[in-house]
Amino acid sequence: MSKPTAIVTGASRGIGRAVATELARTHHVIATYRGRKDAADSLREETGCDIFQCDIASGADREALLGFARERFEKLDLLVNNAGMAPRERRDLLEATEESFDELISTNLKGPYFLTQGAARWMAEQRSGRIVFVTSISAYTASVNRGEYCVSKAGLSMAVALYALRLAELGIPVFEIRPGIIRTDMIAKVEQVYEAKIAAGLLPQRRMGEGVDIARAIRAVADGLLDYSTGTVLNVDGGFSLRGL
Which residue segments constitute the domains of the chain, with CATH numbers given?
Answer: 5-233 (3.40.50.720)
pTM, to two decimals: 0.95
pLDDT tens, residue by residue, 54-65: 999 999 999 999
Task: Identify any residues that bridge with 134 across adjacent strands, giving them in sequence order.
Answer: 177
What pLDDT is stored for residue 187 in this prediction?
86
Annotated catalytic sites, by residue? 136, 149, 153
Q: How confident is the model at residue 147 (pLDDT cuts 50, 70, 90)?
A: very high
Residue 1 pLDDT > 60: no
Residue-level pLDDT at 188: 85
Contact by Cβ (8 Å): 79, 6: yes
**Which range has the worst mean pLDDT, 1-5, 41-45, 133-137?**
1-5
Say what the pLDDT of residue 114 is. 98
Strands ordered across the beta sheet of 50-53? 50-53, 28-33, 5-8, 78-81, 130-134, 174-179, 233-236
Number of neighbours of residue 161 by Cβ within 10 angstroms: 14
The answer to whether residue 167 scores a pLDDT higher than 90 is: yes
Burial of 92 (0-12, 13-18, 19+ CB in 10 A): exposed
| DSSP-assigned beta bridge partners for residue 29 | 6
The distance from CA 202 to its chain's CA centroid, rounded to whole angstroms, is 24
Angle, CA 21 vertex, CA 81 and CA 115 arms, to 5° = 15
According to DSSP, the β-strands at 28-33 and 78-81 are unpaired
